[in-house]
């Protein structure tokens, strides 16, 4: 039996704006930082990721994330939507992913593997029943949400890191019981958590072996990076 490219985990309407979205789990990854983790993509259903950013329709799957494209045209998100997100969107539209992840599929393809929730898009808009069922078949996970202030996202406390954009966000999220992942300006002080091990100089650490960002273990911070880092404005 040929190994599938991935599975459609959910098709529905976003709790952010009521627009359609879908969720895909892909089984392979060549991402050097994460290692060979399974990847979960949360994508707008009506338009491709590049168009969604240009028109503001990425609100459906990114919500109030400060790294979205601003009115000035600047965008600090490190993800290039024209690469993997667009490829996943096109494959989904062509019917290239399996329609359902069965219990047998979970045992076959997820056993011993770890999952990265939110390779693109915010996983807090996913149905928590689906999230926990899929996670239950895997060996571990990482995941992040910028929606940690929203009522619909409270199920994710303990399962996803609260994505924070500076010390003020970090202190607020921590006070509400979230484990945090903070993006900070270079050389920032005042964070009691650990710097992401994978970003330390000469580090060989990958997310699949670290797994600190599972919403339960630790507060983590990383210095701003990527092509959009010059547009970053800490909170």
Distance CA(118)–CA(71), nearest Å, equals 24
Cα Dmax for the chain: 53
The per-residue pLDDT for range 52-82, each reduced to its tens digit, is 999 999 999 999 998 888 877 778 787 888 8
pLDDT digits (tens, 9 = 90+) for 181-195: 998 776 666 567 788
115 touches 7 (CB < 8 A): no
Q: Tens digits of per-residue pLDDT, 24-57?
A: 999 988 888 888 899 999 999 999 999 999 999 9
Hey, is 122 helix, strand or coil? coil
Q: Which two tokens stand for residue 63?
A: 């919500």
Side-chain half-sphere CA neighbours of 82 within 13 A: 1
22 phi and psi angles, rounded to 5 deg: -140, 160
């Amino acid at each position: 039996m040929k190994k599938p490219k991935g599975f459609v985990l959910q098709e529905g309407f976003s709790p952010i704006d009521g627009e359609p979205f879908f969720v895909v789990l892909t089984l392979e990854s060549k991402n050097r930082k994460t290692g060979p983790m399974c990847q979960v993509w949360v994508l707008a259903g009506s338009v491709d990721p590049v168009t969604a950013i240009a028109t503001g329709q990425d609100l459906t799957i990114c919500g109030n994330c400060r790294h979205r494209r601003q009115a000035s045209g600047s965008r600090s998100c490190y993800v290039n939507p024209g690469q993997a997100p667009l490829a996943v969107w096109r494959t989904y539209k062509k019917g290239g992913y399996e329609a359902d992840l069965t219990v047998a599929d979970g045992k076959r393809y997820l056993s011993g593997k770890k999952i990265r929730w939110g390779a693109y898009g915010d996983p807090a808009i996913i149905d928590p029943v689906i999230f926990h069922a899929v996670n239950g078949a895997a060996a571990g996970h990482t995941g992040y949400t910028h929606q940690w202030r929203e009522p619909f996202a409270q199920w994710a406390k303990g399962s996803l890191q609260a994505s924070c954009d500076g010390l003020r966000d970090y202190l607020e999220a921590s006070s509400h019981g979230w484990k945090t992942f903070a993006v900070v300006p270079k050389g920032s002080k005042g964070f009691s958590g650990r710097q992401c091990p994978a970003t330390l100089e000469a580090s060989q650490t990958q997310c699949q072996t670290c797994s600190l960002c599972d919403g339960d273990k630790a507060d983590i911070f990383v210095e701003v990076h990527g092509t959009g880092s010059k547009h970053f404005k800490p909170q």
